[in-house]
Amino acid sequence: MSLGTVVTEFREDGIAVITISRPEKLNALNSEVLKDLDEALDAVQERVDAGTLRGLMLKGAGEKAFVAGADIGELSGLEVASGERLSARGQALFQRIEDLAVPSVSVVDGFALGGGAELAMACHMRIAGEKATFGLPEVSLGLIPGYGGTQRLAALVGQARAIEYIASGAFIDAATAERIGLVNRVAEDPEGEALKLLGKIGKQAPVAVRSAIRAIRGGAGGVGAAGAAAGGTAASDAGAAGDSGAVTRDSIADGYALEAALFGQLCGTDDFKEGTTAFLEKRKPGFTGK
């Protein structure tokens, strides 16, 4: 499935692969890419809802970049109202990725700058190649990250490091990204590693995986996590991190409550019965996602 700047492959193993494809522009984000990505996510969501998708991998075309930021030519013409609209549009689009009920992994091998770093962080997990370089250098343009980067970076690496990297515009190499928790791991073959990871998760009980993602995001997890996990919205519920990015006693208590509710719900599923029976019978389970 090709939409011009975004190519989507639905693999037989239940994994969707979305590729941002503007290699001549280092896959920089512009209005066309955002539109195409939104349409690609529509197709992904349809398969998630149908129960036929187990995971999503997001990558960039070419060898130089995942996504090397936004199209500065488009940004240069922004004014107050149009700038706010663009930011809100990007936030809503990237939130769709974080809100997916299946695990998502971004594969970063090359530059992930500005909106590219924000896109990578919207995925549940990140695998980096050895030459990966992250950065949120918007301050050099007189801006700040506008697609959720201020919130997600703080949630991943802590407030102090987020302020350091965003306020200085400093780049983050692959080894540092792994050390500070920005990426899950650095791999010689990041795409293969991502597929291996999604394949491993895909062997588990689908309904339990979905619930695990909801519980983690609804407790100390992602942007707008508590609201999304409990059926609310990111706008009405700022999530466990809150506006400060700090996990509070109340947010931990909310996370425990959500975890207990989901744990109880899972005890009534076919997958729970199959998983426990298979364990006791010393055989591999045959999960159905129900």
What pLDDT does residue 235 have?
A: 32
Task: Assess whether 236 and 181 both reside in one domain.
Answer: no
Q: Does 288 fall in a domain?
A: no
Task: Assess whether 228 and 117 both reside in one domain.
Answer: no
CA nearest to 66, candidates 74, 57, 75 = 57
What pLDDT does residue 116 have?
A: 98
Task: Assess whether 57 and 169 both reside in one domain.
Answer: yes
Q: Does 147 fall in a domain?
A: yes
Task: Assess whether 161 and 73 both reside in one domain.
Answer: yes
Look up the domain containing 211 and give its range. 204-280
What pLDDT does residue 257 have?
A: 82
pLDDT tens readout for residues 37-85: 999 999 999 999 999 999 999 999 999 999 998 888 888 888 999 999 9
What pLDDT does residue 220 have?
A: 55
What pLDDT does residue 223 have?
A: 57
Q: Does 111 fall in a domain?
A: yes
Is the four-CA dihedral 75, 77, 79, 82 of positive or negative sign? negative
- Residue 118 annotated as catalytic: yes
Q: Which amino acid is at 230?
A: A
Exactly one of 24, 63, 84, 118 is catalytic; which is it? 118
- Distance, CA of 272 to CA of 285 (rounded, Å): 10
Q: At 254, is the pLDDT very low, low, confident or very high (cuts 50, 70, 90)?
A: confident
Task: Assess whether 72 and 180 both reside in one domain.
Answer: yes
Task: Assess whether 115 and 208 both reside in one domain.
Answer: no
Task: Assess whether 121 and 186 both reside in one domain.
Answer: yes
pLDDT tens readout for residues 261-284: 877 888 888 988 888 888 899 999
Q: Does 255 fall in a domain?
A: yes
Indicate if the pLDDT at residue 245 is higher than 60.
no
What is the CATH number for 119?
3.90.226.10
Phi, psi of 208 (to 5 degrees): -70, -40
Residue where a domain terminates, one of 176, 195, 214? 195
- Residue 138 annotated as catalytic: yes
Residue where a domain terminates, one of 195, 228, 259? 195
Q: Does 237 fall in a domain?
A: yes
- Distance, CA of 275 to CA of 138 (rounded, Å): 48
What pLDDT does residue 205 have?
A: 93
Residue where a domain terminates, one of 165, 195, 225? 195
Q: Does 217 fall in a domain?
A: yes
Over its C-alpha atoms, the chain yields an Rg (Å, rounded) of: 19
Task: Assess whether 131 and 247 both reside in one domain.
Answer: no
Total domains, the chain:
2
Exactly one of 98, 138, 178, 193 is catalytic; which is it? 138
Q: 207 near 269, Cβ under 8 Å?
A: yes
Q: Does 285 fall in a domain?
A: no
User: For residue 53, what are its two tokens?
Assistant: 């998708």
Task: Assess whether 135 and 179 both reside in one domain.
Answer: yes
Task: Assess whether 208 and 191 both reside in one domain.
Answer: no
